[in-house]
Amino acid sequence: MSTVLITGAATGIGNLTAKALARAGHRVYATMRAPEGRNAPRAQELRDLATTEGADIRVVELDVTSQESADAAVREVTADGGELDVVIHNAGHLLVGYVEAFTAEEIAHLIDVNALGVQRLNRAVLPYLRGRGRGTLLYVGSTIPVTTPPFLGPYVVSKAAMDSLALVTSYEVSQLGIETVIVMPGAFTQGTDHFPKAGRASDTAVAEAYAALDPLVARNEAATESLFPPGTDADPVVVADEITRILALPYGERPFRSVVDLTDSNVEEASAAVTEARTDFVQRMGFGEVLQLRHA
């Protein structure tokens, strides 16, 4: 079993994954912001799980917008656990609205959380993983860079940035014995705080210029729900289950990408086509070795 650090474990997919992995026998460090403050009830719920079920789950404070916080969390985990095998990048936020109505600073902040937060944690943990000569970086991405729905513009940009960052990082760390997994959840409208806590644009004057589109935005959740075939149980626990399945596989034999999409949106086919083109391009450059994990 592995020692796992996961970000954004207070709610949603991160919370479900932390619980699923702990129940499967992994040692899980469930990180979140303010575990003794506004997230205290959620942190206590995880501690209670450890007590009642005997699961090895421990709560650690981590704010992905702070390099200092990421560094401190990794120090705490490695000092407490003695090792760290898997880092799950899950923390994220959603913005809904018209692209023009968001200031550049608002979009930059979302990218800061959803993409640069990944870079901060990688900078904190990769020296440790490089020293071990092995480890797994697992990114909870999204199908959204492929499907690209309207009215979620900044979010699409941020998740595409995260995916690209994971990809180009994989080239380099693969040669140091560190594997990469990108899990791509599809749309979910229940079981997460994404839609209920989604941010909105601050420039209401610009947003009003798009008022004719307001009825479309208002039915965004309903439109997303309509994508699920009748009778589908669209519970995001399936993402936690897939992550648990992947981490049960032997190190070095885990898939580079896994799509968890219940909306039949042909993401796997699109992803496979892009991967084929990228693989051919990189190989023709003479860099084919970066596509394979080199065991230290």
Q: Three-class SS string for 33-70?
A: CCCCCCCHHHHHHHHHHHHHHCCCEEEEECCCCCHHHH
Supply the pLDDT for residue 192: 66
Rg of the Cα atoms in the chain:
19
Dihedral pair phi/psi, residue 59, rounded to 5°: -100, 130
- The whole-number average pLDDT for the span 55-80 is 96
> What is the pLDDT of the chain when averaged over all its residues?
94
C-alpha of 71 from chain center = 19
Supply the pLDDT for residue 266: 95
CA distance 43 to 10: 7
CA distance 65 to 255: 28
- The whole-number average pLDDT for the span 184-192 is 83
Higher-pLDDT residue of 82 and 53 is 53
Supply the pLDDT for residue 48: 94
Structural domains in the chain, CATH included, are 3-291 (3.40.50.720)
Supply the pLDDT for residue 117: 98
pLDDT at 193 over 90: no
- The whole-number average pLDDT for the span 143-168 is 96
C-alpha of 26 from chain center = 19
Of the candidates 196, 18, 198, 186, the residue with the CA atom closest to the CA atom of residue 95: 198
- The whole-number average pLDDT for the span 76-85 is 89
Supply the pLDDT for residue 253: 94
Supply the pLDDT for residue 188: 86
Q: How confident is the model at residue 194 (pLDDT cuts 50, 70, 90)?
A: low
Supply the pLDDT for residue 191: 62
Residue 39 carries which side chain, given as an amino acid letter? N
CA distance 110 to 119: 14
pLDDT at 257 over 70: yes
Q: How confident is the model at residue 50 (pLDDT cuts 50, 70, 90)?
A: very high
Alpha helix locations (H) across 54-152?
A: 67-81, 104-111, 117-132, 144-147
